[in-house]
Amino acid sequence: MRIAERYTGTAIGLHWLIFALIAAGFALAVYMVDLPLSPLKLKYFAWHKWLGVTVFALALVRIGWRLTHRPPPHEAAIARWQRSAEGAMHVVLYAMIVVIPLTGWLYSSAAGVPTVYLSVMRLPDLLVKDYALAELLKAVHVTFNYMLLVLVVIHSAAALQHHFIARDNVFRRMLPCIKPRRGNTGNA
Amino acid sequence: MRSLNLVLKLLAAAAIVLCALPVAAQSVLYDKSRITCVSRQMNVPVEARFMKFSAQIAFDPAQPAKGKARMDIDLASFDIDNAEVNDEAIGKQWFDARNYPTATFVAAVIKPLGSGRFEVRGPLTIKGRTHEVSAPFTYKEEAGAAIFDGAFPIKRLQYNIGEGVWKDTDTVADEVQIKFHIVVTAGTPAAKK
């Protein structure tokens, strides 16, 4: 009997780090947008942008890693439709973690506000100031974020279903501390 | 003879008066001119524009010391392309535009710096406080217009701009860059010589 493989440490680290940063950026955004104008609100906007830039950079690293490192194979019990659904979901999630920070960056540039990462590194302005375009990009940025929220709920539900109901190793492959279950191995 | 004498005297008087007169005023082309300011929020430069101002300018690059300028900026016309920020900016803690509607700059000294560059110095009054500022600027004539371009920094807290929580300069920096691009009709009589 052999132990099922896990994702690499780098893949697991990037997955949870990006999740934590997106969760923080999302929560901060929901909290900050309706605050009355204050120095604190400006700080929150700056932090939100820094989180976004960090997610964007890590997402690119992660996609590079994924393209050069095969994920651990599934157990034989995982149905074909599940594999296809998983593949499609992962592609969309990867796209979202790149596109969402990008729409934020575009929105900020169209609004005439440059992005200065960590108050130190000024990123290039991707667009010239255009009020109507900024409003459109804001709507796109917000909509994509709620779409991502829905996808994350489905993604987590699937992971938890595998862990608690199917009791297989799908979720454990992405957990840093818990060892995969012995037994149900058998590779595809 | 007497009348000729009188004419000569009058001419001489006129010549004296003309030489003593300041350089003729130029008319400002407001739709081509801009006064903007760049503040830094968390080190992010953000530009805003004062949509309304009036300026009286009489400047001859050949005799800059004789130049005169006065500028009155309507602070309520501050526009940063965000309604919420605009309201905040003209409110009590920032410009307090209701009590102090205009910022005024009067040129006291204009001196040449060479190669089309000059420096203007004078008092700038905002929100009831006056401090001397000096601004280097360039002057160039093109297509029947003369263009003044310059910029200078001010310390917003010296003028009490940003009171209360906004005194904190970690978020909005104390230094604010004021930029002006003023276009006037070219060619004062003196400049045409």
Rounded to two decimals, the ipTM of the complex is 0.78
Query: Which residue of B46, B84, B165 is in closest CB contact with A113?
Result: B46
Does A113 sit within 8 Å of B44, measured CB to CB? Answer: yes
Residues of A with CB under 8 A from a CB of B: 37-40, 42-43, 46, 111-116, 119-120, 129, 131
Cα–Cα distances in angstroms (integers) from residue B189 to residues B24, B144, B179, in the given order: 7, 13, 28
Write out the two tokens for A24: 């923080």
Task: Tell me which chain A residues have a C-beta less than 8 angstroms from the C-beta of B45.
Answer: 114
Whole-number percent of chain B with pLDDT over 90: 78
Q: Over 70: is that where the pLDDT of B71 sits? A: yes
Residue B109 near residue B120, CB atoms below 8 Å: yes
Residue B59 near residue B19, CB atoms below 8 Å: no
Query: Which residue of B46, B85, B172 is in closest CB contact with A39?
Result: B172
Number of domains in chain A: 1
Whole-model pTM: value is: 0.83
Write out the two tokens for B119: 């420096």
Write out the two tokens for A109: 């540039």
Residue B118 near residue B111, CB atoms below 8 Å: yes
Average pLDDT over residues A7-21: 97
Does B171 sit within 8 Å of A43, measured CB to CB? Answer: yes
Which tens digits make up the pLDDT trace of A101-134?
999 999 999 999 999 999 999 999 999 999 899 9
Q: Over 80: is that where the pLDDT of A58 sits? A: yes
Residue A170 located in a structural domain: yes
Instruction: Kindly report which listed range (A56-60, A81-85, A183-187) carries the lowest average pLDDT score.
Output: A183-187
Does B88 sit within 8 Å of A37, measured CB to CB? Answer: yes
Cα–Cα distances in angstroms (integers) from residue B40 to residues B53, B136, B156, in the given order: 23, 21, 11
CATH class (in words) of the domain with range B24-192: mainly beta
- Per-residue pLDDT at A77: 86
Which tens digits make up the pLDDT trace of B131-157?
999 999 999 998 889 999 999 999 999
Residue A187 located in a structural domain: no
Query: Where are chain B's structural domains?
Result: 24-192
SS3 A122: strand
**Mean model confidence pLDDT for chain B:** 90
Write out the two tokens for A45: 């906007």
Q: Over 70: is that where the pLDDT of B193 sits? A: no
DSSP state of B51: -
Q: Over 70: is that where the pLDDT of B19 sits? A: no
pLDDT band, residue A1 (cuts 50/70/90): very low
Residue A185 located in a structural domain: no
**∠ CA A53-A56-A57, rounded to 5°:** 90
Q: Which domain holds residue A31?
A: 9-70+79-174
Q: Over 60: is that where the pLDDT of B25 sits? A: yes
